[in-house]
Structure 1
Amino acid sequence: MVTPELYGETAPEPAARGGRWSRLATGAELAFVAQVIVAGAVFLATSGMRDDHGTGFVSGTAVLEVLAGGLPLLALAGCLHWVLFSLPVTALARLTGGRRWETGRVVVCAAAVTAAHAWWATALWDVPFGWAAVWIAGAGVLPLVAAWHARRRSLWWGGMLARVGALTGIALLVALVGAFVQARTGWLGYEPPRMERDQYVGSWIGGGGAHRLRLGGNGEAEAGNLPLENRNTALWDACSGTGTWAFEPKGAAGGLGTSGGARDRVTLTIESCGRMVDWRIGGTADRPELFTVLDDSDARRVITLHRP
């Protein structure tokens, strides 16, 4: 078959064959979905390196429920990202020239689309422009790299699906192995801060000021809207008042419990409130926090208090 080059004509670019827009941003939506899945897997795999407040690693059933309900929404998000970010960037790069300096034009166009979306987000939700731009650009790097690769290799969605799927599987396997090694060795595992009793003295707030606790040096305590241990036997779920507090170090606090096992603990006794929930130490040495875990009907809820 005679090709156009024999007559001095330039062969059409791969992206233009079969239609002007046929292969713009091919596979970008697959890369977006894959990066979100891998990011979630890494977050779960590194849970032992953060303070989980005693809630523990999510169960396999919970993961399956999240996947069943979240994958359709994630696929929709990938398509929206393709339409709103990847496609405009590659279309602008295509319209401003041919293959010469193509990569540089993609970068410039990506910066322009990022700035436009960041300005839009700032106008709608009053978020900082810089942070909005960073999040938008960060979420768009891998999809654009995937689209650039598909264009260079003249790949359709089938070929990109095979490549993205293989890389995602490898990344998930690495995350699984890393989680196993971290759980077995405790490498970089989280350790709650150790504080002396006097370091607990002072005011603690949480819930945007909805929960308040003041601990005095002589054992006096003043609570404001703090939860009760057994909320089913009272007319209210929280209580305010004055009373006393006691500090129990890690050894005395002992055993596993709903608030995270063997940690230093603060026990409150508030008059007319009944038994209050215990508060355990969490956070970091620079920013300590008191927390408790409430077993609601369908989930476990963590309430944290921190220094004002």
Structure 2
Amino acid sequence: MGWGNIGRAVRRAWLSWTDADRTVAVAVCAAQLPAAWLLWWLISDAQVDNYRVGYEPLGWFFALVLAPLVLPVLGMVQTVAQISPAALLAHPSAVRFRGPGWAWHLLYAVVFGAAWAALFAALWDWPFMATALAFAALGALPVLGVAFARRRARITGHRWGAVGVWGSGCFGCFGLFVLAFGGAALATAVGLIEEYEPPKLSAGQLAGVWRGVDGAVLRLEPGGRAEFAHLPAEPTSFDDRRFVTCDGTGSWFLDTEGRHDKYRADGPTERDGVVVRLDDGCGQRTYWVIGGTEQEPELFVPFGDLDAPDLWILQRD
């Protein structure tokens, strides 16, 4: 193919991808992101330890307020990085090799998604296969949305305006969000999404040295004695601080019934924990909840309001 033919093919491809197509692509990309984020959040949250901590209502409020401003920008980024380049390659491929243009568009969207996944895997160690599948899924709906808009325009003789596109995108965003939530709930109920299960450790497995940030050290002796340095503890009843830090000795025992856990809730989320008592009156006894995994266990305690706590985590030395 000569340079003239290449230039004509590029011009035809560019003309085949109109401003109306780009508007639809951006709107669909933006509309699917809340549902995609919800699925990612529900799946990842179910498989990791959330330390029984609530979620800051103010953060959700800001997310809702900023979403109408951020989503169109993210939709435009995805369109420029994945959907538009795929469209420019799809048209000449459909002309030369035949086949529906939307199928070629979908194929190239998957290819560009895989290319971005490879880049992220190389730069930030993202899992390539999972990232490529995610980009492929995120690219499919915009491609099909553009194909649907084009078919509708051929049948009706006119295209959606910007108001119609974004209005439909808002309804579609809500529908996808509800569908994602229902699908995740159903998958969890039937066991397709496995929920996080904290490890069950014996007193012998708990014995040893546990370390946290700011030099916190807790040594649990097999006989039930404890030594600690810079260890946070529940403040005394007349102290208005969230926690106090203590050095010294004390005692500990494994609690498998939650009798000493003031945050314990009835139901399947109950946790075993380690009760640490201090000898010198620096603070009250503290219930360290067992978390992490069997291979990498943790002890943690939230101090203060569970919606915005001071979370301390100890890991085995």
Distance 1:107 1:126 in 2: 26
2:309 aligned with 1:300 = yes
What per-residue deviation string (whole Å, max 9, x for no partner) do you get for residues 198-246 of structure 1? 3322344556x97654422112334465434349889x97566654323
Question: 1:10 matched to which residue of 2?
Answer: none
Distance 1:298 1:22 in 2: 45
CA RMSD, Structure 1 to Structure 2 (Å): 4.8
Q: Summarize the Cα distance change of 1:53–1:80 in structure 2 as closer, same or farther, 3 Å threshold.
A: same
Is contact 1:256-1:262 (8 Å) kept?
no
SS at match of 1:278: strand
Is contact 2:273-2:287 (8 Å) kept?
yes
Q: Summarize the Cα distance change of 1:180–1:256 in structure 2 as closer, same or farther, 3 Å threshold.
A: farther
Distance 2:28 2:195 in 1: 31
Q: Which of 198, 202, 221 is equivalent to 2:204?
A: 198
Is contact 2:288-2:300 (8 Å) kept?
yes
2:164 aligned with 1:140 = no
Question: 2:8 matched to which residue of 1?
Answer: none
Q: Summarize the Cα distance change of 1:298–1:265 in structure 2 as closer, same or farther, 3 Å threshold.
A: closer
Q: Which of 251, 272, 292 is equivalent to 1:264?
A: 272
Question: 1:291 matched to which residue of 2?
Answer: 300
Distance 1:241 1:103 in 2: 70
Q: Which of 271, 283, 288 is equivalent to 1:279?
A: 288
SS at match of 2:104: helix
CA-CA distance at 1:121 after TM superposition: 3.7
- Show structure 2 runs of 5+ residues with no match: 1-11, 154-158, 188-193
CA-CA distance at 1:37 after TM superposition: 1.5
Is contact 2:244-2:282 (8 Å) kept?
no
Question: 1:252 matched to which residue of 2?
Answer: 259
CA-CA distance at 1:68 after TM superposition: 0.9
Q: Summarize the Cα distance change of 1:111–1:192 in structure 2 as closer, same or farther, 3 Å threshold.
A: closer
- Show structure 1 runs of 5+ residues with no match: 1-12, 183-187
Q: Summarize the Cα distance change of 1:24–1:178 in structure 2 as closer, same or farther, 3 Å threshold.
A: closer
Q: Summarize the Cα distance change of 1:139–1:48 in structure 2 as closer, same or farther, 3 Å threshold.
A: closer
Is contact 1:201-1:216 (8 Å) kept?
yes
Is contact 1:44-1:57 (8 Å) kept?
no
5 Å-filtered alignment, 1:147-226, equals 147-154=146-153, 155-156=159-160, 157-174=162-179, 192-205=198-211, 212-223=217-228, 226=231
What per-residue deviation string (whole Å, max 9, x for no partner) do you get for residues 227-269 of structure 1? 34349889x97566654323233242254369x9953221334
Q: Which of 49, 52, 55 is equivalent to 2:53?
A: 55
CA-CA distance at 1:79 after TM superposition: 1.7
TM-score by length of 1: 0.67
Q: Which amino acid letter does the alignment assign opposite residue 113 of structure 1?
A: F
Q: Which amino acid letter does the alignment assign opposite residue 274 of structure 1?
A: C
CA-CA distance at 1:280 after TM superposition: 0.9
Is contact 2:32-2:176 (8 Å) kept?
no
Q: Which has the higher helix share?
A: 2
Question: 1:67 matched to which residue of 2?
Answer: 64
SS at match of 1:267: strand
Distance 1:112 1:178 in 2: 27
Q: Summarize the Cα distance change of 1:69–1:117 in structure 2 as closer, same or farther, 3 Å threshold.
A: same
Q: Which amino acid letter does the alignment assign opposite residue 254 of structure 2?
A: F
Count matched residues: 289
CA-CA distance at 1:142 after TM superposition: 2.7
Distance 2:40 2:279 in 1: 42
Is contact 1:291-1:304 (8 Å) kept?
yes
Q: Summarize the Cα distance change of 1:217–1:144 in structure 2 as closer, same or farther, 3 Å threshold.
A: farther
Q: Which amino acid letter does the alignment assign opposite residue 54 of structure 1?
A: R
Distance 1:64 1:137 in 2: 30
Question: 1:3 matched to which residue of 2?
Answer: none
Q: Percent identity over the alignment?
A: 27
Distance 1:191 1:120 in 2: 34
Question: 2:82 matched to which residue of 1?
Answer: 85
TM-score by length of 2: 0.65
Question: 1:33 matched to which residue of 2?
Answer: 30
SS at match of 2:52: coil
Is contact 2:289-2:301 (8 Å) kept?
yes
SS at match of 1:274: coil
Q: Summarize the Cα distance change of 1:53–1:118 in structure 2 as closer, same or farther, 3 Å threshold.
A: closer
